[in-house]
Structure 1
Amino acid sequence: MTAPIEVSGSEAQAQPEAVLAGVGKKAVQGRSLGQIAWMRLKRDKLALGGGVVVLLLTLMAIFAPVLVKLFGHPPDQFHRELLDPIFRTPAGPWGGMSREHPLGLEPINGRDMFSRIVYGARISLLVAFLATLVSVVIGVVAGMAAGYFGGWVDSVIARAMDVFLAFPLLLFAIALVGVVPDDASFFGLFTLKDNTLRVSLLIFIIGFFNWPYIGRIIRGQTLSLREREFVDAARSLGARSPYILFREILPNLVGPILVYATLLIPTNILFEAALSFLGVGVNPPTPSWGGMLSDAVRQQLYPIAPHFMIIPGLAIFITVMAFNLFGDGLRDALDPRAR
Structure 2
Amino acid sequence: MTAPLDVPESASHAEPEAVAAGAGGTAIQGRSLGQIAWLRLKRDKIAMAGAGVIIFLVLVAICAPIIVKLFGHPPLEFHREMIDQETQIPKDRFGGIGWDFLFGVEPVWGRDIFSRIVYGARVSLLIAFLATLLSVGIGTILGVTAGYFGGWVDTLISRAMDVFLAFPLLVFAIALAGVVPDQAFGLSGDTLRVSLLIFIIGFFNWPYIGRIIRGQTLSLREREFVDAARSLGARGPYIIVRELLPNLMAPILIYATLLIPTNILFEAALSFLGVGVRPPTPTWGGMLADAARIYTVPHFAIFPGLAIFITVLAFNLFGDGLRDALDPRGNR
Matching residue of 1:220: 215
Which of 268, 286, 305 does residue 313 from structure 1 map onto? 305
Residue 41 of structure 2 aligns with an amino acid whose one-letter code is L
Gaps of 5+ in 1: none
Secondary structure (helix, strand or coil) at the match of 2:189 reads coil
**Normalised TM-score (structure 1):** 0.92
Fraction of identical pairs, as percent = 71
**Normalised TM-score (structure 2):** 0.94
Residue 3 of structure 1 aligns with an amino acid whose one-letter code is T
Residue 295 of structure 2 aligns with an amino acid whose one-letter code is Y
Matching residue of 2:326: 334
Matching residue of 2:248: 253
Q: Is residue 164 from structure 1 mapped to residue 152 from structure 2 by the alignment?
A: no
Matching residue of 2:198: 203
Distance 1:33 1:11, change over 3 A: closer
Cα RMSD (Å): 1.9
Q: How many residues align?
A: 327
For residues 23 and 103 of structure 2, the distance between their equivalents in structure 1, rounded to whole angstroms, comes to: 63
Within-5 A mapping of 1:212-291 = 212-291=207-286
Q: Is residue 179 from structure 1 mapped to residue 179 from structure 2 by the alignment?
A: yes
Q: In the TM superposition, what is the alpha-carbon distance from 1:10 to its structure 2 partner?
A: 3.5
Matching residue of 2:151: 151
Q: Is residue 128 from structure 1 mapped to residue 128 from structure 2 by the alignment?
A: yes
Distance 1:9 1:146, change over 3 A: same
Within-5 A mapping of 1:54-93 = 54-93=54-93
Q: In the TM superposition, what is the alpha-carbon distance from 1:22 to its structure 2 partner?
A: 4.8
For residues 11 and 180 of structure 1, the distance between their equivalents in structure 2, rounded to whole angstroms, comes to: 83
Instruction: Give CA-to-partner distance per residue, 1:167-193, whole Å, 9 cap, x none.
Output: 111111111111111122x4xxxx312
Residue 318 of structure 1 aligns with an amino acid whose one-letter code is I
Matching residue of 1:114: 114
Secondary structure (helix, strand or coil) at the match of 1:195 reads helix
Secondary structure (helix, strand or coil) at the match of 1:96 reads coil
Gaps of 5+ in 2: none
For residues 74 and 24 of structure 2, the distance between their equivalents in structure 1, rounded to whole angstroms, comes to: 63
Secondary structure (helix, strand or coil) at the match of 2:95 reads helix
Matching residue of 2:295: 302
For residues 25 and 45 of structure 2, the distance between their equivalents in structure 1, rounded to whole angstroms, comes to: 32
Q: Is residue 323 from structure 1 mapped to residue 315 from structure 2 by the alignment?
A: yes
Q: In the TM superposition, what is the alpha-carbon distance from 1:24 to its structure 2 partner?
A: 5.5
Distance 1:324 1:9, change over 3 A: closer
For residues 27 and 9 of structure 1, the distance between their equivalents in structure 2, rounded to whole angstroms, comes to: 23
Matching residue of 2:2: 3
Q: In the TM superposition, what is the alpha-carbon distance from 1:12 to its structure 2 partner?
A: 6.4
Q: In the TM superposition, what is the alpha-carbon distance from 1:315 to its structure 2 partner?
A: 0.5
Q: In the TM superposition, what is the alpha-carbon distance from 1:8 to its structure 2 partner?
A: 6.0
Instruction: Give CA-to-partner distance per residue, 1:250-305, whole Å, 9 cap, x none.
Output: 011111101000000000000000000000001110010000000111x2x222x1
For residues 13 and 277 of structure 1, the distance between their equivalents in structure 2, rounded to whole angstroms, comes to: 78
Alignment check: 8 A CA contact 1:183 1:197 kept: yes
Q: In the TM superposition, what is the alpha-carbon distance from 1:91 to its structure 2 partner?
A: 2.3
Residue 299 of structure 2 aligns with an amino acid whose one-letter code is H
Residue 249 of structure 1 aligns with an amino acid whose one-letter code is L
